[in-house]
Amino acid sequence: MSCIAKHSQTLRERGYRMTPQRLSILQALHEGGHLSPGQIYERTRTTGMTETTVYRTLEFLAENGVVHSTQNSGGHLTYELGGHDHHHLVCRACGAQMDLAPESLQAAISQLELQTGYRIDAGHLTFFGLCPECLSKS
């Protein structure tokens, strides 16, 4: 099953339908990773969708776990398709990004759960720092 079909099914199971706007945004994200709302608007504006509709639809999709939001190195909001837990390392100097597998943080998350009593569902975390290249320059 394609990721768009999977997300359509998720929305239908929750009583929502796959609107043309939702589909257009999911297709834009499917084609290219971490996109800002402005980049998504640029990719979808030929459909006649307004920028306000892009923001509202992204908010709806994020609330339903279909997309995840994160911040890039400049602190700006970006979005990507949900459904696969992973984390990010982002360089504050050059903006380089690296995905981390969820297993790489599982021990730390388990320790936090033991210490706090919380059940953590952190499917998407972003850590900021300096990449090895920028670190060697400083």
How is the beta sheet containing 126-129 ordered, strand by strand? 97-100, 87-91, 126-129
**Other beta carbons within 10 Å of 131:** 19
Q: For the whole model, what pTM was predicted?
A: 0.69
What's the pLDDT at 1?
53
Domains and CATH numbers, the chain: 3-81 (1.10.10.10), 87-137 (3.30.1490.190)
How far apart are alpha carbons 37 and 34 in whole angstroms? 10
What's the pLDDT at 3?
77
Helix (H) or strand (E) holding 10: helix 3-13
What's the whole-number mean pLDDT along residues 63-78?
Answer: 80
Token code pair at residue 45: 């504006």
Strands 97-100 and 87-91: antiparallel
Q: Say whether pLDDT at 89 is over 60.
A: yes
How far apart are alpha carbons 69 and 65 in whole angstroms? 10
Per-residue pLDDT of 15-48, as tens digits, reads 999 999 999 999 999 887 788 999 999 999 899 9
